[in-house]
């Protein structure tokens, strides 16, 4: 999620977590990372929860379904293990520091014969191809820029780097540094923009409908990006293979 104002993730996380072993087969762990906010601007402080149990049964996920998460940028993931054992260190999203900011990364897909050279300070803790790709992306960003560049410059660099990983397989990913949310599609990624006037939405994975006008004001604007649409009555946009989208303050930048 990327939002102009601090937004609640309760509705989307309720439906999303059911895909971790209940309405879908992604039951090999899950995680969520989000930036705290002072209520006005995106914050640098981060909260990060992961669990090797399925999201549909995890007590931590149950707590978060009722926890009043308010954030400008959120990355969540339910895992179907392809590379790496079902262990806590292999759960997404992964978190690292670069240029004094936390970065979150989650990947859906499978990379073949992927063995990049890592020579910087970014090394995997677990054994997934996903964390390896994340470390390589941060390494190359750090080589390309001496300090945190504007979002537009970061987007140009990521657009050059992503195809070098994607040639090894499926590379659907979400990446955020608290300032923006980057989404890259290889196969399936969809996004929807929500803004005033807000309508009632129906969750796809649970028999729940919510009137968004009761939860949002006229200045609220946010984007949700997922593998498959979370609701049945919204205009979800399917991303094209190889497409990199950038979202900032609830708007599509590119």
The topology under which CATH files domain 2-252 is 3.60.20
Cα-Cα-Cα-Cα dihedral sign, residues 36, 121, 248, 166? negative
Contact 242, 163 (CB under 8 A): yes
Model-level pTM greater than 0.85?
yes
Preceding amide of 50 cis, omega within 30: no
74 closest CA partner among 176, 152, 150:
176
Q: Rounded to 5 degrees, what are φ and ψ at 216? A: -130, 150
Per-residue pLDDT of the chain (254 residues; tens, 9 = 90+): 999 998 777 665 665 555 444 544 446 788 899 997 766 666 688 999 898 887 777 888 777 767 767 889 999 988 766 666 778 999 999 999 999 999 999 999 999 999 999 998 999 999 999 999 999 999 999 999 999 999 999 999 999 999 999 999 999 999 999 999 999 999 999 999 999 999 999 888 677 788 888 888 899 999 999 998 989 999 999 999 999 999 999 999 98
């Amino acid at each position: 999620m990327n939002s102009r104002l601090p937004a609640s993730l309760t509705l989307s996380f309720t439906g999303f977590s059911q895909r971790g072993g209940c309405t879908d087969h992604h039951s090999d762990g899950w995680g969520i990372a989000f930036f705290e906010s002072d209520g006005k601007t995106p914050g640098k402080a981060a909260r990060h929860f992961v669990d090797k149990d399925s999201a549909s049964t995890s007590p931590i996920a149950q707590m978060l379904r009722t926890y009043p998460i308010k954030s400008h940028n959120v990355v969540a993931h339910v895992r179907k293990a392809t590379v790496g054992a079902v262990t806590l260190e292999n759960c997404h999203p992964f978190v690292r520091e670069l240029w004094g900011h936390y970065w979150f990364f989650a990947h859906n897909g499978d990379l073949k014969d992927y063995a990049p050279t890592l020579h910087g300070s970014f090394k995997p803790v677990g054994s997934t191809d996903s964390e390896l790709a994340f470390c390589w992306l941060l390494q190359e960003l750090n080589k390309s820029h001496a300090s945190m560049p504007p979002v537009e410059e970061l987007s140009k660099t990521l657009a050059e780097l992503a195809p070098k990983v994607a040639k090894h397989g499926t590379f659907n990913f979400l990446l955020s540094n608290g300032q923006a949310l980057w989404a890259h599609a290889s196969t399936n990624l969809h996004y929807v923009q929500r803004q005033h006037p807000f309508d009632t939405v129906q969750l796809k994975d649970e028999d729940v409908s919510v009137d968004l006008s009761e939860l949002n004001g006229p200045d609220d604007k946010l984007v949700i990006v997922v593998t498959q649409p979370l609701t049945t009555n919204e205009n979800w946009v399917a991303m094209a293979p190889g497409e990199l989208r950038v979202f900032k303050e609830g708007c599509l930048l590119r």
